[in-house]
C-alpha cells in the first residue's frame, strides 16, 4: 500500500512499531503464496474500470441492485482470464466479493446453492445441474426460512407430496405463514432454488427434505406456472440484495429433483431415510463456519478504522498551551479498542480451527463415519453465536469511539454494522443455537461421567472439578500465565455446564419431561454454552501461540494480545469466576489492573496490528480508516461529491422554500 502523503502522526506510529506487520499478515492469510495471490487478485479487480461506479451511498435501491447485477455478470465473464489466481471455491468467493462487494448478486449461489448441489445431489440431477451451476448457466438460492418459521426447521410448512402416477413431487405453500421469506437473490435474480419442504409419500410425512425447484424460464426469466415470487422490500441493510418471497401452488417437479444423496424416494414412493437426520442440515453447518470467519473480518475492519482514526485525531489539550494529544493516547480509548483488537485476532485463529474441523468431519461423513456430526453441530452453533454477538457489539463500540464522524456514511461504520448484524439471526437465531449447543454439552457431561470417551472439544467434561482445580494450581497462580488462564476458563465452563445440568435434573425430578426441563433451565443453559464457546476461543488462541514459528518480537506481542483477550474476558464475566471460588475478589481486582497495564504495551504496535489485516482502502471503504490517514481532506472531498451539491440552489427552493420566505413581502 502506498500513498502520495502519509499523515505524520500515522507514519510515526508505523515507525515506532516493534513488529513487522508483514510477518503477521502472512500468518493471517496462510503463508506468502496465498497472500501474494490475494494481492494479485485485488490488483486485477481494483485496476479494472469495469468495477468502478459512483459511491453506492449516492444510489437509489434500484440503482444499487442493477449495479450489483452488472458487476456480478462482468465478474463471471472475466473470471477465466485470471487463471491460477482462482484455484478453488474459496478463491472464487473472494474474487466475487472483491469485484462486487456486498452488492454481489451471486453470493448465495456461490456459497449455499453450489455447496448443496455438490454435497447432496446425485445421479441424473447432479449430471443435469452441477456444471450449469458452476458455469452460471443457472443462478440458485436457498429457500428455507418462511414467514412463520426460521430457526425451528421442523415447523416449516411448505409441503412436497409425491405422486407415484407421474413420478413427480407436488409443492405447495398451504398457509400464509408457509410463504418462503428472506432468501437472498430470490426476488428477481435466481432461476432456481433449493426449497426445504415437508416430504409426504405413501400417506406419511417424513420431515424436512431439500428439493431443487426451477423458478423462472431460462428463455425470458418470467416466473413459471404455480410460482409467485418477488422482492420483500427495503431492509435494515443490504439494499442491493433482492431478498425475496416465494409461494408455490401445485407446482410439479420431477422425482429426481429431490436431493437424494442421503435419503431417497423410489419410483413407487418407498422412502429410505438418511443414516443420520443431521445430514440434511450440513449446508447450515458450513455457513455457520463462514459466519465465524465473517465475525473475525468484520471486527478486524471495525478496529482498523477506529484505531487508525484515533491515531490521526487529536482532541482536548490536557493542559493549557500543550498540543492536543492523539485520541489513541488516552487510556480510556485504548480500553475501548484494544480488547476488541485482541478479540479480532482470537476470532481469526478460531475461525481457522472451525473451517479445518468442518473439512475433516465432512470428509469423515463422505467416508461413512458419522461419529462427529453432533460435535460439529455443537461447535459451529456455539461459535457462530458467540463470535457474531461479540462482533455486533464491538462494531458499535468502534463507531462510537470515532465520535461524531463515525455517524457519517463516509466512515464505513453504518454500512459495516447493518450488513454484519443479520449474522446474529440468520442461519439460526443466536439464543436458539446456544441452546442447541447446551443440549450437546449436557449430554456429553452425562456420557463423560459414565466413562465414555468424549470428542476433542468437550473432552474436558470427562474430568471432574477437583482435577481441573488441581491442574490450575499446578500452573501456579501467576494470573498472566496462559496455562493458568486456560485452566480457569475450563473450570468456569465446566461449572456452568454442571450447574445448568443440575437445574435440568431438578426440573425432571419435579415431574417435567425433558423438553419442559430444558425450557425451565434455558437461561442457565445459554450461559453454559456461552462459557464453553468462550473457552474454545481462549484455548485455541493459546494453542496457536505455541504452534506459531515467528520472531520473538511478534511472539511477545501476540502473547500480550492473548493475555488481554483472556484477562478482559474474566473482568467482563467476573461474577461467574467469583461465585464458585475459581478466583478471589483480590485476584479479580489484580486482573483488572493487569488489563490496564497491558494497554500501553500494546499501544506501540496498535497501528501495525491493524495494518497486518491488509485491508486495501477499496475494501475498507472508509474515509476515517484510510491507509494514508488523510481524513479531513477526504471528508470534505466526499461531501462535495454528494448529488445534493450538484447545484448551488436546489430546485426545491423555487417550489417550496421561496414562496414560504417571500409570503409576507407584498404586505410590506
Residues known to be catalytic: 427
Give 661's contacts (C-beta < 8 A, 6+ positions apart): none
Q: Which DSSP letter does residue 549 get?
A: -
Number of other residues whose CB lies within 10 A of the CB of residue 548: 13
CB–CB of 76/189 below 8 Å?
Answer: no
The backbone region for 53, taken as left when phi is positive above 0, alpha when psi lies in -120 to 50, beta otherwise, is beta
The grid cell for 437 is: 449447543
In whole angstroms, give the CA distance from residue 192 to residue 184: 12
Q: Where are the alpha helices (DSSP H) in 121-235?
A: 123-134
Give 237's contacts (C-beta < 8 A, 6+ positions apart): 415, 417, 418, 419, 421, 422
Percentage helix, strand, coil for the chain under 3-state DSSP, each rounded to 5:
60, 10, 30
Instruction: Classify strands 251-254 and 168-172 as parallel, antiparallel or unpaired.
Output: antiparallel
| Cell 418459521 belongs to residue | 149
The candidate with the shortest Cα–Cα distance to 448, out of 433, 436, 463, is 463
Following DSSP, what letter does each residue of 445-466 receive, concatenated?
A: HHHHHTTPPPPGGGGGGGS-HH
| Cell 448465495 belongs to residue | 108
In whole angstroms, give the CA distance from residue 421 to residue 168: 40
Q: Which DSSP letter does residue 632 get?
A: H
The number of C-alpha atoms within 13 Å of 39 and in the hemisphere containing its C-beta is 13
Q: Which DSSP letter does residue 223 get?
A: B
Instruction: Classify strands 192-201 and 140-143 as parallel, antiparallel or unpaired.
Output: parallel
Q: Where are the alpha helices (DSSP H) in 47-88?
A: 61-78
CB–CB of 164/173 below 8 Å?
Answer: no
Amino acid at each position: 500500500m502506498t500513498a502520495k502523503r502519509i499523515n505524520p502522526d500515522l507514519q510515526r506510529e508505523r515507525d515506532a512499531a516493534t513488529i513487522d506487520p508483514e510477518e503477521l499478515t502472512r500468518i493471517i492469510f496462510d503463508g506468502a503464496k496465498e497472500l501474494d495471490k490475494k494481492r494479485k487478485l485485488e490488483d486485477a479487480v481494483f485496476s479494472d474500470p469495469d468495477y468502478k461506479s459512483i459511491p453506492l451511498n449516492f444510489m437509489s435501491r434500484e440503482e444499487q441492485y442493477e449495479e450489483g447485477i452488472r458487476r456480478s455478470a462482468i465478474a463471471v465473464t472475466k473470471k477465466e482470464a485470471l487463471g491460477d489466481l482462482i484455484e478453488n471455491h474459496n478463491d472464487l468467493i473472494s474474487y466475487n466479493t472483491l469485484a462486487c462487494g456486498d452488492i454481489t448478486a451471486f453470493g448465495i449461489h456461490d456459497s449455499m446453492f453450489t455447496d448443496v448441489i455438490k454435497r447432496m445431489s446425485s445421479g441424473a440431477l447432479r449430471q443435469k445441474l452441477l456444471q450449469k451451476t458452476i458455469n452460471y448457466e443457472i443462478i440458485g438460492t436457498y429457500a428455507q426460512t418462511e414467514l412463520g418459521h426460521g430457526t425451528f426447521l421442523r415447523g416449516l410448512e411448505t409441503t412436497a407430496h409425491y405422486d407415484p402416477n407421474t413420478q413427480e413431487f407436488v409443492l405447495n405453500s398451504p398457509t400464509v405463514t408457509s410463504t418462503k421469506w428472506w432468501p437472498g437473490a430470490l426476488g428477481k435474480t435466481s432461476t432456481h432454488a433449493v426449497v426445504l419442504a415437508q416430504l409426504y409419500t405413501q400417506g406419511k410425512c417424513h420431515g424436512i427434505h431439500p428439493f431443487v425447484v426451477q423458478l423462472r424460464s431460462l428463455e425470458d426469466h418470467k416466473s413459471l406456472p404455480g410460482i409467485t415470487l418477488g422482492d420483500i422490500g427495503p431492509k435494515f441493510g443490504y439494499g442491493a440484495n433482492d431478498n425475496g418471497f416465494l409461494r408455490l401452488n401445485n407446482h410439479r417437479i420431477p422425482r429426481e429433483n429431490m436431493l437424494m444423496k442421503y435419503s431417497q424416494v423410489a419410483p413407487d414412493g418407498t422412502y429410505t431415510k438418511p443414516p443420520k437426520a443431521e445430514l440434511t442440515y450440513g449446508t447450515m453447518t458450513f455457513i455457520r463456519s463462514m459466519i465465524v470467519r465473517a465475525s473475525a473480518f468484520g471486527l478486524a475492519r471495525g478496529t482498523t478504522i477506529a484505531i487508525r482514526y484515533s491515531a490521526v485525531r487529536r482532541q482536548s489539550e490536557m493542559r493549557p498551551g500543550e498540543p492536543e494529544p492523539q485520541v489513541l493516547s488516552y487510556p480510556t480509548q485504548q480500553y475501548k479498542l484494544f480488547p476488541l483488537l485482541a478479540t479480532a485476532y482470537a476470532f481469526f485463529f478460531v475461525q481457522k480451527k472451525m473451517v479445518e474441523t468442518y473439512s475433516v468431519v465432512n470428509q469423515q461423513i463422505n467416508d461413512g463415519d458419522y461419529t462427529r456430526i453432533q460435535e460439529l453441530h455443537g461447535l459451529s452453533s456455539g461459535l457462530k453465536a458467540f463470535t457474531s454477538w461479540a462482533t455486533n457489539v464491538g462494531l458499535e463500540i468502534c463507531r462510537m469511539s470515532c465520535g461524531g464522524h463515525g455517524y457519517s456514511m463516509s466512515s464505513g461504520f453504518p454500512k459495516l454494522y447493518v450488513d454484519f448484524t443479520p449474522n446474529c439471526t440468520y442461519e439460526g437465531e443466536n439464543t436458539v443455537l446456544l441452546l442447541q449447543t447446551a443440549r450437546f454439552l449436557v449430554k456429553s457431561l452425562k456420557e463423560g461421567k459414565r466413562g465414555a470417551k468424549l470428542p476433542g472439544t468437550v473432552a474436558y467434561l470427562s474430568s471432574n472439578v477437583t482435577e481441573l482445580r488441581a491442574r490450575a494450581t499446578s500452573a501456579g497462580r501467576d494470573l498472566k500465565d496462559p496455562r493458568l488462564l486456560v485452566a480457569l476458563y475450563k473450570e468456569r465452563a465446566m461449572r456452568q455446564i454442571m450447574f445448568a445440568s443440575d437445574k435440568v435434573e431438578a426440573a425432571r425430578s419435579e415431574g417435567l419431561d425433558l423438553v419442559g426441563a430444558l425450557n425451565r433451565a434455558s437461561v442457565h443453559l445459554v450461559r453454559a454454552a456461552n462459557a464453553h464457546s468462550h473457552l474454545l476461543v481462549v484455548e485455541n488462541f493459546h494453542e496457536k501461540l505455541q504452534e506459531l514459528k515467528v520472531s520473538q518480537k511478534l511472539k511477545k506481542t501476540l502473547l500480550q494480545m492473548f493475555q488481554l483477550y483472556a484477562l478482559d474476558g474474566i473482568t467482563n464475566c467476573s461474577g461467574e469466576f467469583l461465585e464458585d471460588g475459581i478466583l478471589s475478589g483480590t485476584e479479580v481486582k489484580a486482573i483488572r489492573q493487569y488489563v490496564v497495564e497491558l494497554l500501553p504495551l500494546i499501544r506501540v504496535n496498535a497501528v501495525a496490528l491493524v495494518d497486518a489485516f491488509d485491508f486495501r482502502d477499496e475494501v475498507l471503504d472508509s474515509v476515517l480508516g484510510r491507509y494514508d490517514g488523510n481524513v479531513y481532506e477526504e471528508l470534505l472531498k466526499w461531501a462535495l461529491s454528494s448529488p445534493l451539491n450538484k447545484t448551488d440552489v436546489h430546485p426545491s427552493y423555487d417550489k417550496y422554500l421561496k414562496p414560504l420566505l417571500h409570503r409576507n413581502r407584498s404586505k410590506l
